[in-house]
Amino acid sequence: MTNHPFCSIIIPAFNEQKNIARCLQSLNKQSYPRSKYEIIVIDNGSTDSTKLIAGSIADTVLEILDCNVGAVRNFGAKHASGEIFIFTDADCIVGYDWIQTGVDLILNNPNSIFGGGLKPQDNPSWIERYWLLNDNGEVLQQKDLMGSSIFISSANFKALGGFSSSITSGEDTDLSIRARNLGFHIILKKNLSLIHLGNPETIYDFVKRQSWHSENYLINMKHSLTDKVFWLTITYASTLIILFINTNPTIIVLYLLLTQTSPLILSIKRAYRGDQFYVLLKHPFQMLLIDNLYLIGRLIGLFKGIGRLKNRKRSPKKHN
């Protein structure tokens, strides 16, 4: 690789007409030489003006229909010519030195994959504020890559076989796990964090997002069994069931309190990882509310996953 290796920025998009122009404009205005990178947008069947807007700004706009996001990212990678692949999302805004920072890290650490975290936009909603607990892009809370900010050499990406195309979400976590198993280092850097315009701003959108993230719990059961959040979700569900089937006032009060065990554990964990205990102490109701909504969303996704498994079993097998 040269000091300025050619890079491919790969961006999946679906109905992102509200945000994609700002995303692409931030990528076009980088300290890295513009002739040394390409911007590839892969549209996954948008019904709005996403493709039209992307076509006027990006270098290449591709289309693939009815695919999980991992497959969309892989499709873009197949059409990319860079020595370094950079993955982000269509609702993200990056800093001026984002590309240069990531490239320098890759050049100095060829056996590593780098990523960043998420920063809230200006004037964030209360949901963003108490969920992210992150005003400056620190990556204290996450341990795995996020699809919004990944820097990886094309050779290493191909060695890993790309993203999983069979799961509806969590393809970035899956890539992280497989990369570690093969001896790669996953390194998260504050200066690769970016502003995420697509953070949920309403309770409905937040619950919906968490539901989407947990649809694969049962499909990826081997991973789920080692996932602490999965077990907290199961515990939360169990206490809710006992709460609703009981008529004894004493037991109802007891289990009403027990239902808050899982959310409280999550709130403490987030506050600890983000070094934000003062937020939990000052705003315990908001923190617990967010984590209750988080677990409710995860439960909904779990039930959706049950439905997907049933549909799979009902589908007729194809014979060669």
Closest Cα to residue 76, out of 66, 94, 64? Answer: 64
Closest Cα to residue 154, out of 146, 162, 164? Answer: 162
Instruction: Give residue 138's pLDDT.
Output: 60
Q: What is the distance between the alpha carbons of residues 134 and 82, in angstroms, rounded to a whole number? A: 32
Q: Per-residue confidence of the chain (320 residues) as pLDDT tens digits? A: 558 999 999 999 999 999 999 999 999 999 999 999 999 999 999 999 999 999 999 999 999 998 999 999 999 999 999 999 999 999 999 999 999 999 999 999 999 999 998 887 777 888 888 887 766 656 555 789 999 999 999 999 999 999 999 888 889 999 999 999 999 999 999 999 999 887 888 999 999 989 988 888 887 788 888 888 999 999 999 989 888 887 788 878 887 888 999 999 999 988 887 778 888 889 999 999 999 999 999 999 998 888 766 666 555 544 33
Given a contact cutoff of 8 angstroms between Cβ atoms, the answer to whether 199 and 124 are in contact is yes
Given a contact cutoff of 8 angstroms between Cβ atoms, the answer to whether 210 and 301 are in contact is yes
Instruction: Give residue 215's pLDDT.
Output: 86
Instruction: Give residue 1's pLDDT.
Output: 53
Cβ neighbours of residue 281 under 8 Å, at least 6 residues apart? none
Q: What is the distance between the alpha carbons of residues 7 and 37, in angstroms, rounded to a whole number? A: 4
Instruction: Give residue 9's pLDDT.
Output: 98
Phi, psi angle pair for 43, to nearest 5°: -85, 130
Q: What is the distance between the alpha carbons of residues 40 and 59, in angstroms, rounded to a whole number? A: 6
Instruction: Give residue 310's pLDDT.
Output: 66
Q: What is the pTM of this model?
A: 0.78
Instruction: Give residue 141's pLDDT.
Output: 59
Bridge partners, 114 (sequence order): 151, 187
3-state secondary structure of 9: strand
Q: Where is 77: in which H helix or E strand?
A: helix 69-78
In order of their start, the domains of the chain are 7-200 (3.90.550.10), 204-311 (no CATH)
Bridge partners, 9 (sequence order): 39, 86
Instruction: Give residue 319's pLDDT.
Output: 38
- The token pair that represents 244 in the structure block: 């609703």
